[in-house]
Amino acid sequence: MKKFILAIALAIGAAFTAPAHEQFFGLDPDKFMKLIEQTQKMPRDNAMLIVEQTMQVMSTNPKSYRKALDMVLNRLSDPTDSLHNEDVYMAVLKHATESFVLSNNEKMRPKALLESAMKNRIGKTANDIDYITDKGEKGNLLNNDKRFTLLYFNDPDCDACAKVKENLQASAAIKQAVETGIVRVVAINPMANEKQWKKTQMPAWVTNGWNKSQSINDGGSYDLPTLPVFYVLGRDNTVLAKNEASLKRIEKVIARIMSSPDADSETLANLLFNK
């Protein structure tokens, strides 16, 4: 606990010098990774500030900075990783693209990743998705009748998607949230495999949609690092959770929504940061 408190103090205290930071962190990528893990338990603003300040200190040692950057990006960008966090991920990418450490060529990858991550940011309005349902009806994602939306991106040819679909069907918490009329669930297949999609059976309380226009894959309206992943949208279509691969974490998000269904999107986004 003492080390954790010291880490926070070193990161946000203006009175602490770079050598003091270096003495504590040792410019060690492994220690930086541990600090990133600690940000999962912090308020959003504190986490962002600590990440920025610590990366600034680590930039004094380009070799350690590059190693730490690779380690952190590989974990933060993976929705199946327990360390996955969109806000921290973007903060790391932003520093990498703006700092003097990386060459212009080295910055090409983080710039591309940041551009993708900027799509459908938490706290912003989600991009619309046109789809057809398995009943032949046309729909648009943002036409949600003022309900919260659990958006489930899946691929009928994906074994992991089939398993998550079974778990989704067995989720009493999500089914109950749908039955209250507060939440709706929309499954979207972004792939071009229409025949396989038509064979897919979703729970009766899930809208089973296919992005026939391929606006997701061809138009790049959503950045999907893997499938399956979940998004959660507020009543006003604000993104509250993004690229979550864990149904258990999504159930926690839904539980928080159900505990404060009348809260505005900004309040909910802040509550959900420490999901």
CA 176 centroid distance within chain:
24
Q: What is the pLDDT of residues 94-143, one digit of tens each?
A: 999 999 999 999 999 999 999 999 999 988 999 999 999 999 999 999 98
Which amino acid is located at 153 in the chain? F
φ and ψ at residue 29, rounded to 5 degrees: -55, -35
Q: What is the pLDDT of residues 131-167, one digit of tens each?
A: 999 999 999 999 888 899 999 999 999 999 999 999 9
Q: What is the pLDDT of residues 165-195, one digit of tens each?
A: 999 999 999 999 999 999 999 999 999 999 9
Instruction: Quote the CA–CA distance of 261 and 230 in Å, as a whole number.
Output: 19
Question: Which DSSP string corresponds to 195-206?
Answer: HHHHTPPPPTTE
Instruction: Quote the CA–CA distance of 191 and 56 in Å, as a whole number.
Output: 41
Cβ distance 236 to 126 under 8 Å? Answer: no
Cβ distance 50 to 12 under 8 Å? Answer: yes
Q: Report in angstroms the alpha-carbon separations of 238 from 21, 182, 189, 197, 213.
A: 38, 15, 21, 28, 23
Q: Angle 29-39/44-58 helices, nearest 10 degrees?
A: 170
